[in-house]
């Protein structure tokens, strides 16, 4: 009997991909393990292998089709001796032709950099905090890459180091194309030795360079945390101001999808507790670009916490080449009068969705995007809370000692008389991240929880 | 790598060879099925397949005795099957179901069986190395003659904690076999691009640890080296380093750009060095088994793997209350 070969899910966050290239034709005999096709996602090009022996019947999806949803039948596989059905090839509605040049592009490739496979457009997301002037649409991933490239062009002492940042083009493709442009002297592939290369980068910053250290994810920065805190953060102080560590530690932070406890942790509150560090946590592509440029220029060690799930989302970004965002400045993403929702990074997706839902219920929520967690912009938060008299915070990290706890305490100390209700914090649950899909969903904070929290502080 | 082993004079009995064949085939078919379930979205997150490296764990498990321990990285499915864990429980953990070894809470990279002395399943590269030495420390302290097999990759071998561990393991003569599974790549980084050391096992010499490189695609060579390593450790002269020269056929995880090596390189390994084909040849050419015998085994294994997959699909998701259990003892 003919079996259907389905579009595979090839990464934790993949929902659709481009069928870049067929490596087999109809009628070909294939063995299990043989490469059938090349499939592209926004992260990488991947080879898709046959799981069973058989004969390729019909190729259902044409080479070059983009937006092919996971689990769409892409071919039929016949058993030996079975005749191919004569049914005409149907092009499923899900598939649309890819932008030219996105298929078969070599990996070391500005070509790929210019043709990312269809990012999920974040249409309708507010961009209330952008300065006046022309913008262009870009993904968070592209914004980060552009910020690094621009700063590396501007200052020859800026360099990038980390695992798989060069030849592999970045584990999450943030550094794609940088090796081509800047060469191996400035885009440095390291062995898997986080403690070692973090220490080397701190030393290099003392020696006059401006390192950008990419951690494949911040979970692995735990191996290096001694150098981040004891060496990078404290030396300016311990040397009586003689020498600091002008550098950036960046990479994805927090939960991705189904990668379990050791790979899903939000370090926002950890690093924000350390004097001597600055901490950025961008939400939009404009945040990513503007903050990263400022972070690279800053004379202090800056922890730059990105989010894998946001990498592929698109936003408007000012085209002004001098566009930067100062550290320590929050923004108002949505104005409102009944309650202040303070959040950052992916927490804002819940906050903004909640604000939308609450608006329909007649509750006007102001949404504050912190952008920087150290220094934290108390003034913007306090001004908003003094206006709305209510506050809910939203983040993915653990509840104990969270950023929300710290804000609640600050608001209590500095705006107690303005509060009409206690501050409520929405956080991840107080458990290591479970793997099971149903439990993982439960462990993260949700839009529904934010809506409920807002209603509770509004006594509705 | 050395050329394909001649098929003559195997230093193992027919029963042994059939056992290794069965065990390696179980791992391979299990992993193929896992890849399939991943593509269907039934397995999520990261999933690192062991295909190509089967001879390493099967050869070493052949010299383990009851009470010996093992610990490894996230590329752990083969180790679990080889030490006798139930394919059903492993597959159900991959699908995140309550029938899994960690009740669905650990996933592919984080699975354990106290019962089978399997201590994980670790997602942080290199972390299992001191942990394995700690298990051996406990055995020595308790005065038994158990050995711990501590597996790690060529990439992990560059982590600093490996060398801190080497120093103490030799200082205290811990009964630990450090098994470097040198599959020549750490994600997309070939060994040549991560070190100028000519070999990984020789690094142990700086700490006074003995060791050797082994053809990890040859289950009999693995077993022979394992016997020596284990005997050394049981005699109180541990630790011992085995650098297993092996190869992974599939991508690093399910998501892999596959651009850092050529398809020809992979095909060459598969066709010339495959560990399962090697034992298959030994069995057929030695007249120890017929094509039909092997077909029966194949069918058997396929049925076991299918049963595991069915179990993993049917096992219910963990109850929601499980979110809050097992945090404190
Ligand atoms: C501390 C740490 N750094 C980085 C990673 C990401 N990572 C996972 S596996 C891997 C490659 C490891 O290669 P190797 O040790 O050779 O083992 P193999 O995958 O080949 O079995 C990397 C870099 C991680 N999990 N932990
Ligand atoms: Mg390796």
The answer to whether the beta carbons of residues A444 and A395 sit under 8 Å apart is no
Q: What is the phi/psi pair of residue A296, to 5°? A: -65, -35
Give me the residue from A222, A223, A258 closest to B44, CB to CB: A258
> DSSP code of A82?
P
In whole angstroms, give the CA distance from residue A211 to residue A209. 6
Q: Supply the angle between the helices B14-39 and B87-94 in degrees, to the nearest 10.
A: 20
pLDDT in tens, B125-170: 999 999 999 999 999 999 999 999 999 999 999 999 999 999 999 9
A431 neighbourhood in chain B, CB within 8 Å: 323-324, 327
A268 in the Ramachandran plot: left (φ > 0), alpha (ψ -120 to 50) or beta?
Answer: alpha
Query: Domain ranges in chain B?
Result: 14-310
- Is the CB of B159 inside 8 Å of chain A's CB atoms? yes
Tokens of A155: 């200052």
The pocket around ligand 1, CB under 6 angstroms, is made up of: A 163, 192, 194, 216, 220, 223; B 73, 75, 123-125, 153-156, 181, 183, 185-187, 252
Give, using CA atoms, the residue closest to atom 19 of ligand 1.
Answer: B186
Q: Which of A263, A306, A308, A366 is catalytic?
A: A263
Contact state of B186 with A192 under an 8 Å Cβ cutoff? yes
Q: Is the ipTM of this complex over 0.95?
A: no
> Which one of A44, A45, A192 has the shortest CB-CB distance to B156?
A192
Chain B contact for A184 (CB, 8 A cutoff) = no
pLDDT of residue A215: 98
User: What pTM, to 2 d.p., does this model score?
Assistant: 0.89
Strand order in the sheet with A35-40: A45-49, A35-40, A16-22, A65-69, A96-97
Return phi, psi of residue B217, to 5°. Answer: -95, 0
Whether A396 is catalytic: no
Peptide bond into B238 cis (omega under 30): no
Q: Residue with structure tokens 């950890």?
A: A270
Q: Is residue B254 very low, low, confident or very high in pLDDT (cuts 50, 70, 90)? A: confident
Beta strand B210-215 with B148-153: parallel, antiparallel or unpaired?
unpaired
Strand stretches in chain B, DSSP E? 69-71, 148-153, 176-182, 185-186, 189-190, 210-215, 240-245
The residue whose CB lies within 8 Å of the most ligand 1 atoms, and thus the one to mutate among B125, B127, B157, B189, is: B125
Interface probe for A, chosen from B152, B323, B324 (most Cβ of A below 10 Å), is B323
Site of tokens 């593509």? B39
Q: Does A35 touch chain B (CB under 8 A)?
A: yes
Nearest to A32 among B32, B97, B109 (CB): B32
CB A89 within 8 A of CB A103: no
- Cα A302-B160-B157 angle, rounded to 5 deg: 120
Question: Token digits for B157?
Answer: 């071998």
Can you give the pLDDT at residue A46? 77
Q: Establish if A173 touches chain B: CB-CB under 8 angstroms.
A: no
pLDDT along chain A (460 residues), means of 10: 84 83 91 83 76 88 90 87 52 40 32 35 54 94 98 98 97 97 98 97 96 98 97 95 97 95 97 98 98 98 98 96 96 97 98 98 98 98 98 98 98 98 98 97 97 97
Question: Is A418 an annotated catalytic residue?
Answer: no
Which residues 195-214 of chain A have a CB within 8 Å of chain B? Answer: 195-196
Query: Smallest Cβ distance to A11: which of B188, B194, B254?
Result: B254
Distance CA B231, CA B74 (A): 28
**B6-37 residue pLDDT tens:** 445 557 899 999 999 999 999 999 999 999 99
Q: Is B130 on the interface with A (CB under 8 A)?
A: no
Catalytic residue among A16, A142, A194, A366: A194
Residues of A with CB below 8 A from B263's CB? 35
Give me the CATH code for the B14-310 domain, please: 3.40.50.970
Asked if A10 and B254 come within 8 Å (Cβ–Cβ), the reply is: yes
B121: nearest CA partner in chain A: A262
> Nearest C-alpha to atom 13 of ligand 1 is from which residue?
B186
Q: Does B46 touch chain A (CB under 8 A)?
A: yes
């Amino acid at each position: 009997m003919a079996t259907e070969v389905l579009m595979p899910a090839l990464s934790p966050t993949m929902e659709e991909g481009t069928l870049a290239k067929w490596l087999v034709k109809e009628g070909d005999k294939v063995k299990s393990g043989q490469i059938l096709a090349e499939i592209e996602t926004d992260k990488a090009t991947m080879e898709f292998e046959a799981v069973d022996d058989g004969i390729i019947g019909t190729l259902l999806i044409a080479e070059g089709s983009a937006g092919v949803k996971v689990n769409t039948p892409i071919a039929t596989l016949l058993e030996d001796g079975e005749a191919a059905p004569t049914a005409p090839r149907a092009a499923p509605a899900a598939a649309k032709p890819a932008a030219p040049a996105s298929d078969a592009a070599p990996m070391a490739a500005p070509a790929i950099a210019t043709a990312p496979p269809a990012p999920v457009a974040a249409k309708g997301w507010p961009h209330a905090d952008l300065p006046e002037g022309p913008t262009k649409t870009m993904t968070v991933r592209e914004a980060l890459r552009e910020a690094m490239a621009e700063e590396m062009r501007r200052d020859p002492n800026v360099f990038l180091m980390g695992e798989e940042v060069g030849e592999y083009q970045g584990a999450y493709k943030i550094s794609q194309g940088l090796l081509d442009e800047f060469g191996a002297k400035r885009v440095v592939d390291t062995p898997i030795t986080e403690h070692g290369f973090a220490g080397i980068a701190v030393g290099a910053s003392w020696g006059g360079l401006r390192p950008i250290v990419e951690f494949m994810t911040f979970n692995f920065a735990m191996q290096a945390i001694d150098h981040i805190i004891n060496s990078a953060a404290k030396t300016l102080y311990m040397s009586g101001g003689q020498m600091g560590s002008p550098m950036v530690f960046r990479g994805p932070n927090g939960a991705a999808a189904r990668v379990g406890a050791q790979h899903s942790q939000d370090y926002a509150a950890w690093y924000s507790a350390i004097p001597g560090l600055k901490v950025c946590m961008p939400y939009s592509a404009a945040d990513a670009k503007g903050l990263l440029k400022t972070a690279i220029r800053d004379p202090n060690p800056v922890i730059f916490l990105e989010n894998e799930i946001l990498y592929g989302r698109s936003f408007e970004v000012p085209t002004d080449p001098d566009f930067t965002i100062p550290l320590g400045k929050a923004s108002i993403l949505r104005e409102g009068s009944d309650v202040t929702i303070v959040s950052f990074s992916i927490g804002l997706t819940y906050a903004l969705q909640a604000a939308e839902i609450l608006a329909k219920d007649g509750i006007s929520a102001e949404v504050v995007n912190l952008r920087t967690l150290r220094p934290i912009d108390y003034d913007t938060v306090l001004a908003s809370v003094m206006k709305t008299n209510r506050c809910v915070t939203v983040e993915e990290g653990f509840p104990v000692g969270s950023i929300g706890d710290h804000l609640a305490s600050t608001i209590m100390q500095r705006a107690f008389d303005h509060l009409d209700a206690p501050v409520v914090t929405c956080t991840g649950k107080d458990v290591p991240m479970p793997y099971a899909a149903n439990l993982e969903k439960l462990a993260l904070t949700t839009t529904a929880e934010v809506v409920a929290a807002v209603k509770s502080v509004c006594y509705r | 790598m050395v050329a394909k082993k001649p098929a003559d004079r195997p230093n193992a009995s027919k029963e042994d060879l059939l056992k290794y064949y069965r065990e390696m085939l179980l791992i391979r078919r299990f992993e193929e099925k896992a890849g399939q379930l991943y593509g269907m979205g039934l397995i999520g997150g990261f999933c690192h397949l062991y295909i190509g490296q089967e001879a390493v764990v099967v050869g070493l498990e052949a010299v383990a005795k009851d009470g010996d321990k093992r610990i490894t990285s996230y590329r752990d499915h083969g180790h679990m099957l080889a030490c006798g864990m139930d394919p059903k429980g492993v597959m159900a953990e991959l699908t995140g179901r309550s029938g899994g070894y960690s009740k669905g809470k650990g996933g592919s990279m984080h699975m354990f069986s106290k019962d089978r002395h399997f201590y994980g399943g670790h997602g942080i590269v290199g972390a299992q190395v001191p942990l394995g030495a700690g298990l051996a420390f406990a055995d020595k302290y308790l005065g038994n003659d158990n050995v711990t097999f501590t597996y790690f990759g060529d990439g992990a071998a560059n982590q600093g904690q490996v060398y801190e561990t080497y120093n103490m393991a030799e200082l205290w003569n811990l009964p630990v076999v450090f098994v470097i599974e040198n599959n020549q790549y750490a994600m997309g980084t070939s060994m040549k691009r991560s070190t100028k050391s000519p070999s990984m096992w020789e690094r142990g010499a700086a700490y006074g640890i003995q060791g050797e490189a082994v053809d990890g695609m040859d289950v009999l060579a693995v077993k022979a080296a394992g016997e020596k390593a284990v005997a050394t450790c049981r005699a109180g002269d541990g630790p011992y380093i085995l650098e297993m020269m092996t190869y992974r056929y599939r991508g690093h995880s399910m998501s892999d750009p596959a651009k850092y090596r050529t398809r020809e390189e992979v095909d060459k390994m598969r066709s010339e060095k495959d560990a399962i084909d090697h034992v298959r040849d030994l069995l057929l050419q030695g007249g120890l088994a017929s094509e039909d015998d092997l077909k029966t085994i194949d069918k058997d294994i396929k049925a076991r793997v299918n049963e595991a997959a069915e179990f993993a699909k049917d096992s219910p998701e963990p109850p929601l209350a499980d979110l809050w259990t097992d945090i404190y003892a």
